[in-house]
Structure 1
Amino acid sequence: MTGQTTATAPPQLYGRRSRLRAVEGLLDRLASGGAVLAVTGEPGLGRTTLLHHAARTFTAGPVLHVRTDSTAPGRPYADLRVLQRSAGVPEKGVPETGAPKEDVTADTAAGDLLDALRATAAHAPLLVCVDDVHLWDPASRTALACAARRLHTAGRVGLLLSTRGPLARDFAGLPVLRLHPLSTADADALLDEATGGEVPPVLRADLLEEAAGNPALLLALLRRLSPAELSGERVPARPLADAAALTGVVGRCPGGTAWADADDLLLTVAAALREPDAEDVDAGLVQRALNGPALGRDPFPEALALTDGRVRFHSGLVRRAVHAGAAPDRRRAAHRALARAHEAAGHRLLALLHRAWAATGREPLLAEELSAAAATASASARLRSVAHARAAELTPQATLRADRRTDAAEQALLAGNSRHALRLLPEPPGEATPPAVRGRAELVRGIAERYDGPVADAHASLLSAARLLAGTAPARSAAATLAAADAAWAAGLMTECHGALAQDATDAGRDPDGPARDYRLGMRAALEGRFDAAEPHLRRVVGHALTGDRPESLLRSVAAALLLGDPASAVRAGTRALAAARNRGSGALEPRALEYLAYAELRAGWHAQARAHAEEGLRAAERAGQRNTAAHHHAVLALAASIEGEPDVVAGHVSAALATARRHGLAQAATLAHWAAARADLGRGRPLDAADRLGPLVRPGPRRGHFAVWMLAVPCYVEAAVLAGRPQEARPIVADLEVWAGLDADPHAPAQLLRCRALLAEPEDADELYLRALDLHEHTAGDFERARTELLYGKWLRRRRRLREARDRLGAALVGFERCGAGVWARQARGELRANGAAPSGEGPGALARLTPQQWRIARCVADGATNREVARSLSVSTRTIDYHLRNVYAALGVRSRVELARIVEQAEKSGARL
């Protein structure tokens, strides 16, 4: 054990903001008294770095920073003696050499330690950092725990200790700060800092997966890679996290034993937990494998926990190190013992899998048994994938090996791991490989790329799979063409989408599924603009949702209902698709079902429900590594936030959606994200920004948005262009909106069309157009679109001094916005009501009560960052009028800059003084 009084500057701490605040809180408390905090977590999560940070940043007094040397285990109280020596006070009661005195107890030693610390802290607060206290000798550890509980008697002394895994029994009851693995985003940021962001995407994903959020392991893996491997010029050896990397992070067992020399119990449990989906293992199974007495012996290994007859490792990283670091013959013996135990318990697939792990070289008979059991067993997709993959490794014949690797990839895809599925696929086969084998591999590749890759590549792979499978697997071939159409749709490739839907659509032999055939014919006719021909086919697809139970078919019902302008039926089909995906335990289909459901709810005007399902879907997509699906969820969340008035949230989701959409060619997600950003600008009174963003999206040309989405953004564009003083740019687009409204594909479109015409109409015509639009809104669900029409009509009436009518319309708009949680739009309605001379209910005096309603509206716009010109366009007045009012606002509030004004407005809003 060593002692020091300084610490080197630690590296940047990613994902530890809340933990740093907790440590800083402990340091702050030392100004008035003692404090103690125990930092726990598995090896490599940053316990030592956190203590170094505390030692480095504490400047109020001396720092004692001690760490155990695990390679030199000491005698009883040896570790405690080093701590006392670091304090500069002679040890009492704890001898320098030999055995401790008989009268030295933990309580006595703790008292001596407190005396030493009290003396050191006599003139200034003292911080004591004790790292890896789990490696202390038991006597020292017990004494330190006693001292920690009595630390308040030592004055201004802070004790910050770290320990691996759960807190030892000695320290029970002390305040605990647990470190958890980094999130994917934080681990990604750490990887970028360490490499300059130059790691190829595939290797990046593999590194993040292998490190599993452990920053020390991630950096260790990087150090083991050569520059050529890091740049992608050379393929690194597998596994990335081998025994050397794992044991380098984990270190040694308490007492100095290497994990590779761990006893049979540790190795057997580690081997059992290699089974997919296993977080713990039955103690009886381990006992039978070891052929020994019941578990629970004393001493029980500190690395293990035994609870309710189940055994597990405290640290997953330690488990991996034990298994990887053991000698090969010991590993194989453990797997053979577990195979016998599983066989006796009737677990045939697991028994065969452990036998396969114990095998060396090619074993065709065992591979055949394992592959057959994986194909027929009632087991998770992840377990079947592992079994097929191991069977492929034992298979000598190349074609059969490729077939079994494809089986493994298919199951990995069903389990929701697209990247792993791609890694499992066989190397590109030659022409001698049967078309059925090549076709299956291409089908898996295409579906995986559709979830997490360039969708144009997915489209090509899926069409190739359809051709290869046409002769031997017509149902799979038909599924491949439908998936190719989906990929082309996501990419905004209308011609390619139509082509995929047209392939052999009338061939009953290749397309035996009635709903699938109706879907093909209906979607194909819709893309051709023949909605009268499309409707009967799409109606049958929607009707199938009442009885169907296959998630893929139910998702097609969602798409068909949306094309028919029936969002309520789309929501019902989406709900059934989600339930079906969950019943099947499909990690791949659940995020996609949530995507379809959230989008259907958004189209139905149920924004709160859409947000809830999109948040859930985003988490599921990130777990499954489905970046394309995650991008769609980000786009839906951005649209929901643009209604609720959360500009930072909108910007975050738009940025995330576009980052993936640009890399993978997701035209649909990109269009939705841009629309969300523009709607947020419009809601905040920035019509010029909204018009500039939406113009290229809705006008004809190469930059026009996705063919099935851009029309939905036209009403926003028309409103923004008119409010920005550019109505001439919006007039040609209204003709496109008229065609869209006539297709009955969007229930809100007819009312939106009349609203847009009213915005562009002469005063004598606008009144009737607004009223007709409101009448049509009565027949559609959702409050948001109706409230927007009420707001625009109320503004129009107020400018014409029809104040009583304006008050009624603006009040109705406010109620509608509040009902659907559209906060930023509700503020617009309140501002209009104030300008109309009416105070909305609930408004009381505040810091800005001295302003007139018009001055308050201008102050709010300026505080949001709008220029005087933008405010003038938003309020339909001249820039000179805004200049005049703004000078009066400054004079009334005693401020001299827009920054000061923004600060006052923000404080007033937080206090609720002026809502």
Structure 2
Amino acid sequence: MTPSTTVHSPLRLYGRSGELAILEGLLVRLWRGDGSALVLAAPPGLGRTALLHEAAAAHRPRGPVLHADERGLPAPEALRELAAGRSLLVCADDAHTWGRASRTALITAARGLGAGSRVAVLITADDGPAFAGLPALRLGPLDDDAAAALLDRLAGGAEERPRGTSKAFSGTEGLDPVVRAELLREAAGNPRLLTALTGRLTPDQLAGRTPLPCPLPGAEGVLAAHADRLDGLPAHTRALLLLAAAAQEHEPAGAGADALLLLRAGTRTGLPRDFLDGVLFGSAATEGFLQRAGSRVHFSHPLDARAVLHHASPARRRAAHELLAALLAGTGGHPVPLASLVQLSYAASGPDHALAARLEAAATSPYPHAQRSFALARAAALAVDRPLSSARFAAAAEQAALSGDPALARALLARTGPSAGEPRHGLVAYVHGLLALRAGPAADAHEALLAAAGLLGPYDPLRALDALVGAAEAAWVMGDAAGYLEAMGRVEPDPYDRVSAAYRAGMCAVLAGRTEAGHALLRQCLDPVDPAPVALLRAGVAALVLGEVAVAYRTGARALAAVRAKGPDALLPQALEHLAYAELRAGRHAAARTHALEGLHAARRTGQPNSSVHLHAVLALAASVEGPAEACAAHSDAALAGAGPHGLAQAATLAIWARARADLAAGRSDEAAARLGPLVRPGPRQGHFAARMLAVPCYVEAAVLGGRGAEEAGELRAAVTEFARWTSRTTDPQAPAQLARCRALLAPAEEADARYAEALAHHDRAGGDFERARTQLLYGQWLRRRRRTREARTPLRDALVAFQRCSARAWAERAAGELRAAGEQGPSVRPAAGDVLSALTPQQQRIARCVAEGATNREVALRLSLSPRTVDHHLRNVFAALAIRSRTELARLLGPEVP
């Protein structure tokens, strides 16, 4: 027990702002004269000692610091005397290691403090029961942001290098992103472990130039500290903990162990049945190590399981794994279950070629991709031959990617090394391409998959085919028709898979301009016999290219059901995206929004930002119908922010179209035309080849309503001519009606009536509330502007009702505004003032109220202390937001309901 004379400032603490605030509060109370006690409880490595030192350093200028040990601690009265009229901070580090008598004395001293004592006791201990009853602050792992910041500092400068670590901390060449992700995954938020792992890697390993070792070195110290808690446990408890830790090895991360398997294993090793029942199914305690969740048993802290295995002797570990392998093998028949082989792999004392081969052979369907990945990684760890090990790591990475765990896939690829041999290197390139297709620039994915196909062709023709199809998919999302044709053109026809051959030939024919022949081939793909998700997704794409929207919707629903039933998990976002897009084309906007939101969550969970971009575009399209405009803008901006860096032209086209359609709903025709013009006109900014024709009707409407019909007449007629050619080739039920609507917008007055009637007749055959309502809205608006007000009310009223029926709120408001301008009032036309004002900003609401009361712009400016120009600007936005055109309409709209 020695008073501190100097306090060494610790390295910066990350992710502990909340804990530091609590310690600051304790010190502030101490400086005011009120003592207290606090236990910093945490497993080893989470920074409890660093927080203790931080508190000591903060207190040192205000008063003495006493570092206590188990040799004895004075009574509270003696502590007050030591304070000598100044505030005293007593620090007891790792107090759970003290003897029982010393701990009791410390607890007694801590409980004797309080108001006016001028003494505070700060204790660090594990999270066991040793100091139960004292106020405790329990530390958790660092969150992702804090752990990443700590790793950046560790790899960023030699001046902050922890003592005894390697020169890898020079940080001059950067930290490879894959290595970074693996270090963060392995450390699991433990700062001491993260520091140790980083310090044991070489500069080449940190920079990603050489493979990472498996397992990562450096965890020994932290695991040993965790294992120290085991020594005082009863033998029965230690034996069960070893079985529980070993039983987790064949399970997915975080799944824990099967309680029934542990019961069988514990019974086989002679553990008492009442003890096993109490721990596994009752309320018996294991000193905080284990906790139950249904039929699963979990370690309270992930590192505890690793510490238990690290602490056990090699012989005891092997015995536990061999016992579990035997129990999992069941009757001993063939094939041996994959879980049993994984347990045997942990029982192996060194490389085992035969066992590795058995693991590799067993890691096939029907096992989930995550289990197959794990088994292949274990097979790689048992291999002696470096190229063979690299090939297995690459195969494990492929399965991890399919399971929806791209971070693990990249970590496994980091262990393959640069000299894996030609066919194996092809597999590495293939997995890199798959990951880039879902999370990187589409151009990178295209080139990686083309290269992989060339390397894999002589050795693995099936994967080479998949690589070419993936390269074509990358070209498609980029809007690179030539790249798509190049990739598909390298595919060798399979005489035994006529549907796939018809799909590839049909898509190539359509993109090459041979539309009739291409459509004939694609029709062979619409009803696949193969129920596999990939075949169903392919059929859905064919249906959309053909314009068979109803077929695309039904096939998309089947594909989603197949993915949910069979996997792989990585396909879930794509299946939801395809279904949502088909629902948009079918006019099912609410359903599309629901599925797209689910897809967005799945894309984030499985690490697929490119899918997130596409799903944001789908959500923007749905919001352009349903509203609100803010949601459309937010989703559109999110899609464009991701589409630009990764070259996702299809998503960008859809996002811009959605934003323009929302502009149309709000009456901002000029803005809509400005957005859509570059997409539909020839030129470098032209929209995606598969989506640009869908935007032509909106472009024609925006240009005509915005007054550009005369000055852009040539471009508009050229766009309509191209749209007419597309309509003649597609079976999209809405296309003929949209074409007639475009022609009505451009027709002279004497022809427009007939064109609108033609469009409505097509709508009657096609169905679909939204598109029909848009045509009725334009027809009614055309009639009203030609002073045929009485005639205009019928189509406008029908449009309003149809928009309301399909929840197209913004469009309904525009139709209501037109109907009011046509002289019709009523509950369905005139919303409550409160609902109207909710669409405006607070400033716009104040101005609208003043104008509705009859104030001029100058009077409003004086009343609200604004300039007349500002009032005029806001008033124009009010008119646009409310779909009205005059002060009289505003007064009529708000009327006496204005508060």
Partner AA of 1:396 in structure 2: V
Contact 1:210 / 1:241 at 8 angstroms: preserved in 2? no
- Does residue 492 (structure 1) correspond to residue 479 (structure 2)? The answer is yes
Contact 1:697 / 1:703 at 8 angstroms: preserved in 2? yes
Q: 2:757 aligns with which of 759, 767, 771?
A: 771
Deviation at 1:573, TM superposition (A): 0.8
Partner AA of 1:589 in structure 2: L
- Does residue 355 (structure 1) correspond to residue 344 (structure 2)? The answer is yes
- Does residue 580 (structure 1) correspond to residue 557 (structure 2)? The answer is no
Deviation at 1:357, TM superposition (A): 2.1
- Does residue 793 (structure 1) correspond to residue 769 (structure 2)? The answer is no
Larger mean Cα displacement after TM superposition, 649-658 or 592-601: 649-658
Q: 1:780 aligns with which of 766, 790, 814?
A: 766
Cα 1:621/1:860, change in 2 over 3 Å: closer
The secondary structure found in structure 2 opposite 1:141 is: coil
- Does residue 632 (structure 1) correspond to residue 619 (structure 2)? The answer is no
Partner AA of 1:829 in structure 2: A
Q: 2:857 aligns with which of 887, 894, 902?
A: 887
The secondary structure found in structure 2 opposite 1:387 is: helix
- Does residue 706 (structure 1) correspond to residue 688 (structure 2)? The answer is yes
Contact 1:73 / 1:255 at 8 angstroms: preserved in 2? no
Q: Per-residue CA shift, 1:521-564, capped at 9, x if unaligned?
A: 221221122222122221221022xx431111111110111111
**2:403 alignment partner in structure 1:** 415
Contact 1:200 / 1:230 at 8 angstroms: preserved in 2? yes
Partners of 1:647 and 1:15 in 2: CA distance? 38
Partner AA of 2:258 in structure 1: V
Cα 1:561/1:380, change in 2 over 3 Å: same
Partner AA of 2:341 in structure 1: L
Cα 1:709/1:844, change in 2 over 3 Å: closer
Partner AA of 2:263 in structure 1: G
Q: Per-residue CA shift, 1:321-354, capped at 9, x if unaligned?
A: 5556777776556434543544467564323212
Partners of 2:743 and 2:609 in 1: CA distance? 40
Partners of 2:341 and 2:178 in 1: CA distance? 32
Partners of 2:706 and 2:49 in 1: CA distance? 57
Cα 1:472/1:812, change in 2 over 3 Å: same
Q: 1:380 aligns with which of 340, 345, 368?
A: 368
Q: Per-residue CA shift, 1:142-181, capped at 9, x if unaligned?
A: 4x5xxxxxxxxxxxxxx8x5436xxxxxxxxxxxxxx899
Q: Per-residue CA shift, 1:430-479, capped at 9, x if unaligned?
A: 77x5x5x5655554444343233333333334444445555565555444
**1:752 alignment partner in structure 2:** 738
**2:704 alignment partner in structure 1:** 722
Partners of 1:704 and 1:585 in 2: CA distance? 36
Partners of 1:669 and 1:613 in 2: CA distance? 17
Contact 1:498 / 1:524 at 8 angstroms: preserved in 2? yes
Partner AA of 2:632 in structure 1: V
Larger mean Cα displacement after TM superposition, 679-688 or 381-390: 679-688
- Does residue 292 (structure 1) correspond to residue 271 (structure 2)? The answer is yes
- Does residue 533 (structure 1) correspond to residue 524 (structure 2)? The answer is no
Partners of 1:448 and 1:649 in 2: CA distance? 30
- Does residue 141 (structure 1) correspond to residue 132 (structure 2)? The answer is yes
- Does residue 272 (structure 1) correspond to residue 247 (structure 2)? The answer is yes
Residue pairs, 1:53-452, within 5 angstroms: 135=127, 138=130, 141-142=132-133, 162-163=137-138, 201-207=177-183, 209-210=185-186, 243=219, 263-277=238-252, 278-282=255-259, 283-288=262-267, 291-294=270-273, 295=276, 296=278, 299-306=285-292, 310-320=296-306, 322-323=308-309, 332=318, 334-343=320-329, 348-375=337-364, 378-398=366-386, 400-425=388-413, 426-427=416-417, 433=422, 440-452=427-439
Partner AA of 1:890 in structure 2: V
Q: Per-residue CA shift, 1:110-151, capped at 9, x if unaligned?
A: 9x97x9768899xxxxxx99998974865x634x5xxxxxxx
- Does residue 802 (structure 1) correspond to residue 791 (structure 2)? The answer is no
Deviation at 1:708, TM superposition (A): 0.9
**2:813 alignment partner in structure 1:** 827
- Does residue 664 (structure 1) correspond to residue 646 (structure 2)? The answer is yes
Contact 2:532 / 2:562 at 8 angstroms: preserved in 1? yes
Contact 1:678 / 1:694 at 8 angstroms: preserved in 2? yes
Partners of 2:76 and 2:199 in 1: CA distance? 33
Q: 1:516 aligns with which of 484, 500, 518?
A: 500
- Does residue 680 (structure 1) correspond to residue 643 (structure 2)? The answer is no
The secondary structure found in structure 1 opposite 2:291 is: strand
The secondary structure found in structure 2 opposite 1:311 is: strand
Deviation at 1:291, TM superposition (A): 4.5
Cα 1:239/1:392, change in 2 over 3 Å: closer
The secondary structure found in structure 1 opposite 2:686 is: coil
Deviation at 1:516, TM superposition (A): 0.6
The secondary structure found in structure 2 opposite 1:707 is: coil
Cα 1:575/1:98, change in 2 over 3 Å: closer
Cα 1:789/1:336, change in 2 over 3 Å: same
**1:148 alignment partner in structure 2:** none
Deviation at 1:494, TM superposition (A): 0.5
Q: Per-residue CA shift, 1:590-635, capped at 9, x if unaligned?
A: 2222221122112212111112112222222222222322322222
Larger mean Cα displacement after TM superposition, 470-479 or 364-373: 470-479
Q: Per-residue CA shift, 1:651-702, capped at 9, x if unaligned?
A: 4433443344333322222222232233333334433333333332222112
Partners of 1:534 and 1:765 in 2: CA distance? 36
Give the count of matched residue pairs. Answer: 808
Partners of 1:51 and 1:811 in 2: CA distance? 73
Cα 1:857/1:844, change in 2 over 3 Å: closer
Contact 1:535 / 1:564 at 8 angstroms: preserved in 2? yes
Contact 1:698 / 1:713 at 8 angstroms: preserved in 2? yes
Partners of 1:80 and 1:315 in 2: CA distance? 39
Partner AA of 2:248 in structure 1: L
Contact 2:580 / 2:595 at 8 angstroms: preserved in 1? yes
Partners of 2:821 and 2:192 in 1: CA distance? 60
Partners of 1:219 and 1:650 in 2: CA distance? 44
Partners of 2:319 and 2:568 in 1: CA distance? 35
Cα RMSD (Å) of the superposition?
5.8
Partners of 2:788 and 2:52 in 1: CA distance? 69
Partners of 1:129 and 1:754 in 2: CA distance? 83
Partners of 1:864 and 1:42 in 2: CA distance? 56
Deviation at 1:481, TM superposition (A): 3.3
The runs of 5 or more residues in structure 1 that have no matched partner are 25-36, 55-66, 90-96, 122-127, 145-158, 165-178, 850-855, 869-880
**1:59 alignment partner in structure 2:** none
Contact 2:583 / 2:591 at 8 angstroms: preserved in 1? yes
Partners of 2:76 and 2:577 in 1: CA distance? 57
Cα 1:633/1:845, change in 2 over 3 Å: closer
Contact 2:373 / 2:397 at 8 angstroms: preserved in 1? yes
State TM-score, norm by structure 1. 0.72
Contact 1:133 / 1:163 at 8 angstroms: preserved in 2? no
Partners of 1:47 and 1:784 in 2: CA distance? 61
Partners of 2:151 and 2:833 in 1: CA distance? 49
Partners of 2:564 and 2:76 in 1: CA distance? 54
The secondary structure found in structure 2 opposite 1:274 is: helix
**2:585 alignment partner in structure 1:** 603
State TM-score, norm by structure 2. 0.73
Partners of 2:317 and 2:76 in 1: CA distance? 35
Partners of 2:676 and 2:767 in 1: CA distance? 25
